[in-house]
Structure 1
């Protein structure tokens, strides 16, 4: 760990959150953990931060990360076995993070098998950081019609929404839950993302907190967050629904 992250007083951990629903910890599937040792290290870190359950959500992104149940579930089973051998006291579940693009619209329309979690109800979706997805509204509408609860990942990271805060309210009104990245509150993604995250919390628009953990630097940043004033903001927030997952 970086020494600068160990000099401040730790204010608490994430036991009050309990479940991390967004991470890239299954090894070798996307831009997250690459080896089983990487995965175990990150899961040990999450356990140390007070988490009890981890929902693994590798990217499903066109031809870049063409994951599906047949690629994700076997790798997940190997990870489950590995944490048993390491005696980690964590419950694992397999899910995915779907890019709301034309490929995903087709999957939803054709009723293809989707990796949902928590009693097959919740599904994590995202957009590009470069431009809003023209398919998001159709995805959200169809998912809700089919009985799913869509969750929009890291809305604070969509810079094109920073001057359009009404967009966050719009997606909530359409039935989509919003999931904040805890890392955003550390300034990890930049000052403007940090400010957007703080404003979303202050407006009580956030439903869920996730880590979006990819690698050891993210773990260090989460540990650092537990020493900051924004940890107090999280600990006092009244509307996290992670305990439903």
Structure 2
């Protein structure tokens, strides 16, 4: 199975863009897994300007399903003394598939420092949480992750409280920058609205935003809490929170999901 690091290593320059070959093992139905698109887009941004400060925020809009060959073009929108804004376009098979914006910011001195939402202490750790194995008829990309359920509902269980806590890590984590691994992991879980379904139906991410509180020095397990806040008319608005095993908040995310059932 081709790892994320191997896909990145195989990316080649195509003018101002980066060309990537994406194997079938990273597909989600007929499209590429969104977390991989975001991770490869971030890698393209970092290649466009290797001196960018740490990532602070990423916004992605998914418009069409990319094929196995995808082109990622990063454009420096603004580069200040402490911040950088990079626009991203992903094209595949002659169409625009995704657009994104990455915001980078250097650390600065500040008297404001707090972490008001630490890791929930009542939840079991990854070793004590139940393994969620990939399904034979499930999305191919899921085989690249180890997922363990700490709490919450299962997909397609008719849950009245559509939320869950999952421990997630990449199976192959070698040679990956922590920020790239974190970005990919953050989109791994299925939408929380899936737990409210009583029968399987397709879902698709429309927009996704990741706001970074602290990038770990290395990425092993990540605890993700996903909750659908409101759903109707075939759409769900959901929030996600990410923590490190050490107990500090890594990031927060927000997602708009289309539900076809």
TM-score, normalising length from structure 1? 0.26
Higher relative contact order (CA 8 A, sep 6+): 1
Structure having the higher strand fraction is 2
**Larger relative helix fraction:** 1
